[in-house]
Amino acid sequence: MPSWFWFFGHPRGWIDEDVDVVQGPFVPSGFVVPLALVTKQFRLEPLGPQHNESDYEAWSSSVEHIHVTPGWEASSWSDDRSLVENLRDLQRHADDFENRAGFTYTVLDAATDEVIGCVYIYPDSSKQHDARVLSWVRASRPEFDVQLWRAVAAWLADDWPFKRVAYAERVHGA
């Protein structure tokens, strides 16, 4: 197994970028899905169509950087989609969030509200894990990658109902 793969402290297999929403509840019906994660450096809020232009600018300016981010190395995303196609993708993520099928958060700089990344929490179609998590930060803000990973990993452990989470470990940086 790759040494960078993190599963609440245990190595596991590879994260595939093709997220399949599985049938059945992803989170228990009584679980209140967090609408935010706030740190001194950044905050997460549900990704939606209102983020289209800033989200598009963030990832489209960071394609090479995203592809070297743990979990994204073999991904076919990010692609050459248009701003209109990106809007459809953001609406799909917002629909998944509303339907509790998956949860995508935009990552905003706490001081400027600039989009600096994204976090995806979806069911693991292999059923080896309760959830698969991917995150990225824009190329101009690489210092946030490890901080984001640490904050999200702790958030998942403390505030979410998952026992087994696949989230590629960050081993460099702060």
- Where are the domains positioned within the chain? 5-168
pLDDT given for residue 125 in this prediction: 82
Q: Which residues of the chain have pLDDT under 50?
A: 1-22, 174
**Distance between CA atoms of residues 121 and 99, nearest Å:** 13
pLDDT given for residue 4 in this prediction: 31
pLDDT given for residue 17 in this prediction: 40
- Sign of the C-alpha dihedral computed for residues 58, 64, 67 and 68 taken in this order: negative
Q: Which of 126, 113, 121 is nearest to 93 (CA)?
A: 121
**Distance between CA atoms of residues 94 and 49, nearest Å:** 8
Containing 86, the helix (H) or strand (E) segment is helix 83-98
pLDDT given for residue 140 in this prediction: 95
Eight-state DSSP code of residue 35: S
Cα-Cα-Cα-Cα dihedral of 12, 105, 44, 25, to 10°?
-70
Strands (E), the chain: 5-6, 37-38, 42-46, 103-109, 115-122, 131-137, 165-168
Q: What is the 3-state secondary structure (H, E, C) of 158-174?
A: HHCCCCCEEEECCCCCC
pLDDT given for residue 118 in this prediction: 97
- Superfamily (CATH H level) for 5-168: Gcn5-related N-acetyltransferase (GNAT) (3.40.630.30)
